[in-house]
Chain A
Amino acid sequence: MIPTQQSDSVRLITPTMLVLFLVLATVPLWIARAGLYPYLGIEILIWSLYALAFNLVLGTAGLPSFGHGAYFGIGAYAFGLCQFNVVANLWICLAAAFAVAGLAGALVALFISHRRGIYYAFMTIAFGQIFWTLAIKSHKVTGGEDGLLKIARLPADLGFASFDLAGNVAFYYFVLIVFGLAVIALWRLVHSPYGRVIAAIKQSEIRAAHLGYNVWLYKASIFTLSAAVSGFAGGLFAMAQLAAFPDVMSLHQSGYVVMMTLVGGGLVSFWGPVVGVFLFLIARDVIGALTNAWMLYFGLLFIAVVLFRPEGVAGAVTAAWQNRSLHSMRQQGGSALRLLFGGERWR
């Protein structure tokens, strides 16, 4: 299990969450002065949600999914197609994004949930490529490589009040609220009995099966859930960009979310993916302005993290602030760390 303070794991809203939400709520006030812009904040929140959903599979369940961009992209297309062909209602279309991506995830989970490890990774790549190719080729439905354009930021109609989300700041707050609710839900999920079973499966499938749990069902369900939430984030992204493009579904960009999650420390910390997304997107904007080689530096950072600090930024920060050596963390910490440093012996 991802190591968490005992008391935090039973809370609905942890102190860390509160601080984070408060800080994020103030962002539009100072972001321009920090040399950035509200749209970047929107991107960070959406990708954070996507990375958190992805980490359900990688960090919590220990399953490597290298083709997750497919579900992010499918959610975006589903949102757009719902808006054009079904009904232009914000809630229904976001639900459609969640459902359609979840369906795609369930389909793939059917084929792969009986395996893990490298084979699992291979097959997620293959399916990711299939979805990507379908998105690019079906240009009558998806607009092909030109993307599905003219997607609108539908107003948030709560019955008693309706909020126009066309402006970047208004949309940012909407995304923040949705992000907050999703984070609370994901936190509860990871620390619920269901989440504990998933963690047990990550440690040892044989042991979990011995205890009577239907391992296949748990693996399939977490993958489906992860795909659904990724699709939901994709629906938000479609609104942000006013379009759905197939690029996020490519192998390259599916790799980005793996890199972000790992560098941020997703293997050992719930917040790792958020840290990773923040680092990646800020680096893209700030360092990318100075040099075209920013991806090179991030790639080198990624290699260094894989080799020397697989617990990532969040892991290193947690260890430092808790004044513990990494060695003691490895003793106490979850199977993630045992996985990293123990290899075959711990399986």
Chain B
Amino acid sequence: MTKREISRRGVLKGSLMASALAGTASYFGPWKENRVWAQGAAKPIKLGLTCDASGQYGNSGQDDLRGIQMAIDEANAKGGVLGRKVTWITADTETTPATGSRIAERFITREDCTILIGAVHSGVANAITQVAAKNGVIYLNTNSSAPSEAGENCSRIKFVWDGNGTNFSKASVKNAVDSIGKNWMLLTNDYVWGHTTSAATKAQVEGAGGKIMDNLLVPQNTRDFTAYLLKIQQAKPDVVATAIGGDDIKALREQVAQLKLDGKPAWINNQQDWPDVWGAPNSLFGVFGTTWYHKLALPGVAEFVKKWQATNKEGSIPVPGNVSYNGYMATRELLRAIERAGSTNNIKIIKELENLKVSATDRMQHFDAYMDPVTHQMQQTIYLARRNAKPSDNTDLYEIISWTEPKAAADTDAQAKCKLTPYEQVPTVDS
């Protein structure tokens, strides 16, 4: 009899203690947050930065974060957006879709973030998109270059700021089939970016009269490429096209360079991200794509580099690359769009972004860029590069061999595959 009463009391006390604990804990404030909010000032605009800090794309995620923060600081230095300060919060999405989903949920429901920014891994981007779309929250996919992001995985609330696998394939493949050879082998990272990029490459190769000998799937976080390199040596293709990213491509490059396989066959590495290149500069080989390079001979580039370096003195990467650049551009254009829309109503911002046009000078690229209103992907200049045989300093790793205008590299199939929800069906978000 008595024992039962005590255990009931025990449960009550326990739950009271727990809730008290949870309540006190809330005053510590979660995550790394920038809370600058004077009394009586206008309510700040809060951005949720969903960047990887660990896993296959941890390095790129952090570089993405640097670019995004630079754009936010610039806007705040000019007095904020619509007279309101821009604040942000970030958490590690661990290059894992499940974590991305959880963090998006937290940012939206607990942190009241108006807009989410940031992704490198397309799986993570998709998981975040689902949660954001459910709530009507705008999401900027800064650096994930899966063609499906602008195709079957597009969304009314999502905007893609990186060139994707199809763009880079279009810029590189036809030329390579004509000048190097018709027999191609594909190495594909086993997730959505890998698959869709390799599918795009295959379409391009076959369209140019070439042949795909084999498509080898490489699980994520593979380090030992011996079996694959043996198979490649046995098959003797003319070209190997890789859709491998993050730490995996670094490992692959090291091993290929060690075995001196970088000459024959020819390697086309789709897009290479600056953090992956900088991580192993001596093993850079083949032809690859990028959306920007810090030594482009264009107005504004040098100043941008200096500004970036001023805020990133202790980092491990000394100059900005495409990842930081995409993060910066996405955030800058978003904040400008909010200013033009005159409000933080999500539909108004979406409509502003859908009609976005940025001049070449403003983009620090060779051609004007514009947002495709049907697929929500930014169409921009596509650069092809290879290892610089005559670098001017130790950061000058690329030799830019060509620049393609957006229309020529555009993914013409994406528009058919992308079905956006009508405006009326998107939940309204306004802060």
Contact = CB atoms under 8 A, between A and B. Distances in A.
A7 to B, nearest CB: 7
A32 B111 CA distance: 10
A157 interface: no
A149 B127 contact: yes
B6 A166 contact: no
Binding site secondary structure of chain A? helix
A239 to B, nearest CB: 12
Contacts of A8: 4
B97 A322 contact: no
B93 to A, nearest CB: 12
A285 B98 CA distance: 15
A333 interface: no
A247 B7 CA distance: 37
Contacts of A20: 11, 15
A282 B4 contact: no
Contacts of B79: none
A19 B109 contact: no
Nearest to A275: B14
Nearest to A39: B105
A242 B134 contact: yes
Interface string B330-345: 0000000000000000
B109 A39 contact: yes
Contacts of B97: 145-147, 243, 245, 247
B7 A318 contact: yes
Given A144-B191, A245-B97, A286-B22, A35 B27 contact: yes
Contacts of A34: 19, 22-23, 26
B3 interface: yes
B380 interface: no
A53 interface: no
Contact of B18 (A150, A278, A285, A321): A278
A290 interface: yes
Question: Which residue among B9, B27, B127, B195 has the maximum number of chain A CB atoms within 10 Å of its CB?
Answer: B127
Contacts of A139: 190-191, 195
Nearest to B129: A149
Contacts of A19: 8, 11-12, 15
Interface in A1-57: 5, 7-8, 15-16, 19-20, 23, 30, 32-39
Contacts of B25: 35, 286
A183 to B, nearest CB: 14
Interface string A282-321: 1001100110100000000000000000000000011001
A91 B96 CA distance: 30
Contacts of A290: 28
Interface string A103-120: 000000000000000000
Contact of B123 (A37, A147, A150): A147
Contacts of B167: none
A321 B12 CA distance: 12
B134 A166 contact: yes
A129 interface: no
B207 interface: no
B192 interface: yes
A168 interface: yes
Contact of A285 (B3, B30, B134, B190): B30
B310 to A, nearest CB: 27
Interface in A151-173: 166, 168
Contact of B7 (A39, A144, A145, A322): A322
B220 interface: yes
Contacts of A136: 190, 219
Binding site secondary structure of chain B? helix
Contacts of B23: 33-35
Contacts of B10: 317-318, 321
Question: Which residue among A139, A248, A289, A318 has the maximum number of chain B CB atoms within 10 Å of its CB?
Answer: A289
Contacts of B96: 245, 247
A156 to B, nearest CB: 18
Given A38-B109, A144-B191, A242-B101, A282 B127 contact: no
Interface string B99-127: 10110011001100000000000110011
Nearest to B96: A247
B130 A321 contact: no
Nearest to A246: B98
A177 B99 CA distance: 27
Contact of B98 (A36, A248, A322): A248
Interface in B105-163: 105-106, 109-110, 122-123, 126-127, 130-131, 134
A67 B130 CA distance: 29
A241 interface: yes
A321 B6 contact: yes
Nearest to A237: B98
Interface in A224-250: 241-243, 245, 247-248
A180 to B, nearest CB: 15
B30 A145 contact: no
Nearest to A150: B130
A16 B11 contact: yes
Nearest to B54: A292
25 contacts: A5-B3, A19-B12, A20-B15, A23-B15, A35-B27, A36-B26, A36-B110, A39-B110, A145-B97, A145-B220, A147-B98, A147-B123, A147-B126, A149-B126, A149-B130, A168-B109, A242-B131, A243-B97, A245-B97, A247-B96, A282-B18, A282-B21, A289-B31, A318-B10, A322-B7
Closest 10 CB pairs of A and B: A35-B26, A289-B30, A146-B123, A37-B110, A245-B98, A321-B10, A286-B25, A34-B22, A247-B98, A34-B23
Interface of B: 3-4, 6-12, 14-15, 18-19, 21-23, 25-31, 92, 96-99, 101-102, 105-106, 109-110, 122-123, 126-127, 130-131, 134, 190-192, 195, 219-220
Interface of A: 5, 7-8, 15-16, 19-20, 23, 30, 32-39, 136-137, 139, 144-147, 149-150, 166, 168, 241-243, 245, 247-248, 278, 282, 285-286, 289-290, 292, 317-318, 321-323
Given A139-B195, A149-B130, 17 more contacts: A15-B7, A15-B8, A16-B7, A23-B12, A35-B26, A39-B110, A145-B191, A166-B134, A241-B98, A241-B101, A245-B96, A245-B101, A290-B28, A321-B6, A321-B7, A322-B6, A323-B6
